[in-house]
Structure 1
Amino acid sequence: MLTFSILTPENLALALLVASLAGVVKGMVGFAMPMILISGLGSFLSPELALAGLMLPTLTTNLWQGLRDGPRAAMASLGRFRLFLVVGAVCLFASAQLVGILPAGVLLTVIGAPLVVFAIWQLLGQPVTLREASRRIEVAMAVLGGSLGGLSGVWGPPVVVYLTALGTPKAEQMRIQGVLYLLGSIALVAAHTGSGVVTPASMAFSAALVPAALAGMWIGYRLQDRIDQAAFRRATLAVLLLAGLNLIRRGVMG
């Protein structure tokens, strides 16, 4: 079996467990799957294989998330955030070519620290809000998200900061994240076809993780449907705080 040619059955079983956990969290708050997969898989696999492993699970779960309310709602979200998508995709493609050349530690730390401050500030009851969408802030978040995504496969936190600051309702935030991350997932796979990360063996491994990720996401959806907007916001901020701390950890420790 092609998957077993690049990792042991024990490592595959552990990878399936990580994918299931990532699916549960994504189903609850709409993001963090790449963060959990890259951190979990990277603890016992090479960084390149961990990055490849997250590609197909994130793509399929984002497809489900983005289309959960139907194609028409997804297209409306696509139109609303088209600037974010274009800028983020350009930055993702550009930064993906620097994998293995540019040390990502500084970038991870610089992005992670503000996320931690933002999440703690919000959780302490000091809201940071935007009355309306700002093109400059949207472009800035797209640059951060795209650059981070190309280097590490994790592009969600800047998106979540922007949507949370806008006070986006739960259902709409889930849908918008799904649409944005779906196109980001496609761009990530395309960007790494020439970087050496995407190979037949690594994609077979990534495909093996898809059922576990989908099953976990189904559980996460059931949990998310039971909580209100306030609880959803707190859960989102808690995961965002963990995401920021994880980025700092990766930036400092490698």
Structure 2
Amino acid sequence: MSDLLLQATFVAATFLLAGVVKGMIGLGLPTISMGLLGLVMAPSQAAALLLVPSLVTNVWQLLAGSGCGALLRRLWGMMLGICLGTAAGSGIIAGGDTRLATAGLGGALILYALVGLARARLRVPAWAERRAGPVVGAVTGLITGATGVFVIPAVPFLGALGLERDELVQALGLSFTVSTLALAAGLAWHGAVPAASLGLSLLALAPALLGMAAGGWLRARVSLGAFRRCFFLGLLGLGGEIAWRALA
């Protein structure tokens, strides 16, 4: 089997698994994709591959319900912070120092896994939300630009706003959509989105959507609590492996 076919098979399997996770718990596609692809390629290449599947699946999640406009009016400061932070940090993942970006990717996965395993019940008071949103967005953007992972601290912050379940799912979709677009713009600005990567990213969309459908089917048949614990433990080990290889 040729190296190109092996790579394409690995990419398809990665996005299939990432889609299953997203279909079950509403997030995890870019995190799983960046983590697994980061084992075999530079973070900038992995980030370029996730652009199309991430954008399509998150727009789908965003538009799945009503109230998108109200969420955007409420969270516009956070979204602006994500854009500015990603623009500032994208030079790291697109730069020549892949060791720094890889170590950052491993660290982001470890941090996200620890937050998920802790299951801390946080609550942001209404008076602090408007001030904290842009700061959280900027930090999320910096991490996105440096590592391609856009869940910390955005996901815990959105979970602490007291949103209803459907609102939270849409808010996550909004955050991830903006992060994906900002990352795409940052990579393109630094010339880190080759045409070949975009073609492979488009091909990765099919397994990602298939995985999401399978994850939705499994959601009613598998204990989500046990699945989440396994997911975060696996992510912890994956992040540790990536960070160890980068720093060893």
Alignment TM class, shorter chain as reference:
0.7 to 0.9
| 2:47 is the alignment partner of 1:55 | no
Residue 135 of structure 2 is aligned with which of 121, 126, 140? Answer: 140
Instruction: Give 1:108 shift.
Output: 5.0
Paired amino acid for 2:148: G
Cα 1:80/1:119, change in 2 over 3 Å: same
| 2:113 is the alignment partner of 1:119 | no
**2:83 paired residue number:** 89
CA distance in 2, matches of 1:141, 1:248: 25
Paired amino acid for 2:195: P
**1:198 paired residue number:** 193
Instruction: Give 1:195 shift.
Output: 1.8
CA distance in 2, matches of 1:95, 1:16: 28
CA distance in 1, matches of 2:134, 2:228: 22
* 1:56-105 deviation per Cα after TM superposition (whole angstroms, max 9, x unaligned): 11011111111111xx5222221211010001110101111233256246
**Structure 1 counterpart SS, 2:190:** coil
Kept in 2, the 8 Å contact 1:35–1:154? The answer is yes
Residue 80 of structure 1 is aligned with which of 74, 78, 97? Answer: 74
| 2:36 is the alignment partner of 1:44 | no
| 2:165 is the alignment partner of 1:170 | yes
Instruction: Give 1:179 shift.
Output: 1.5
* Range with greater deviation from structure 2 (24-33 or 39-48): 39-48
Which structure 2 residue ranges, 5 or more long, are not aligned? none
Structure 2-normalised TM-score? 0.82
Structure 1-normalised TM-score? 0.80
Which structure 1 residue ranges, 5 or more long, are not aligned? none
Paired amino acid for 1:121: A
Instruction: Give 1:250 shift.
Output: 3.5
Cα 1:140/1:243, change in 2 over 3 Å: farther
Kept in 2, the 8 Å contact 1:116–1:245? The answer is no
**Structure 2 counterpart SS, 1:8:** helix
Kept in 2, the 8 Å contact 1:65–1:174? The answer is yes
Identical-pair percentage: 26
RMSD, aligned CA: 3.0
**1:31 paired residue number:** 27
Kept in 1, the 8 Å contact 2:49–2:201? The answer is yes
**2:245 paired residue number:** 253
Kept in 2, the 8 Å contact 1:23–1:33? The answer is yes
| 2:151 is the alignment partner of 1:159 | no
Paired amino acid for 2:140: G
**1:219 paired residue number:** 214
Kept in 1, the 8 Å contact 2:61–2:173? The answer is yes
Paired amino acid for 2:43: P
| 2:180 is the alignment partner of 1:185 | yes
